[in-house]
Amino acid sequence: MLNLLNMLQNRWVKSIMESQRLSKTVGLTMIDIKGKTFKFIDEDRSHELGHLIYDVLDIILKNPYGTLFKFKPVDFLKRKSKSADWHCVRLAVCIGLISTSIGTPVLVRKNVRICEDCHDVMKKISLMELTTQIVTPFFQEYEQFSCKKHMNGAVRSWNDS
């Protein structure tokens, strides 16, 4: 019942947005590598190394350390089965891993909030690759399966393994 109400509420908001010609901000992730900026949107296959990016992402998602993802039935019903697997943050980090040496920090800029599944993947990559990924706007730093959030000059750190 609650799911139905949420679904109806969401449709109502979408219809108001359409009537006022408003739209959601498209998630965009950028990464600078050797002076060149790469931009990614979700499920982006336009990059010249696209096949290699997706191969690296598939290896990461095989997850030899056990699952980090939480099953959420509501989300499962709402979206495509693997849509989070190809979020632009993951694609940008993969091109960063391909293009830099092991242990080099990877700086990724994002214009919207990072989802919980991508947050977990960043922690996993930091453990596997022994590298640091820094994702803004919140400036989250992932290093060896721990996360530090830098917000308004304050640093919060935790190890949620």
For the chain, list residues with pLDDT below 70: 1-10, 63-84, 129-161
**What integer pLDDT is reported at residue 16 of this predicted model?**
82
* Residue 53 maps to a domain: yes
* Residue 110 maps to a domain: yes
Positive or negative CA dihedral for 82, 85, 87, 91?
A: negative
**What integer pLDDT is reported at residue 69 of this predicted model?**
47
In eight-state DSSP terms, residue 85 is G
Contact 12, 92 (CB under 8 A): no
**What integer pLDDT is reported at residue 130 of this predicted model?**
63
* Residue 1 maps to a domain: no
* Residue 9 maps to a domain: no
What is the extent of the structural domain holding 116?
25-158
Enter the tokens of residue 1.
């019942």
- Diameter over CA atoms, the chain: 52
**What integer pLDDT is reported at residue 137 of this predicted model?**
61
The radius of gyration of the chain from alpha carbons, rounded to an integer in Å, stands at 17
* Residue 6 maps to a domain: no
Instruction: Report the alpha-carbon distance of residue 78 to residue 71 in Å, rounded.
Output: 13
pTM comes to 0.63
Backbone phi and psi for residue 75, each to the nearest 5 degrees, phi listed first: -65, -40
Torsion angle of C-alpha atoms 109, 115, 118, 119, degrees rounded to 10 = 80
The tally of domains found in the chain comes to 1
**What integer pLDDT is reported at residue 24 of this predicted model?**
78
* Residue 121 maps to a domain: yes
β-strands 106-110, 132-136: how paired? parallel
**What integer pLDDT is reported at residue 23 of this predicted model?**
80
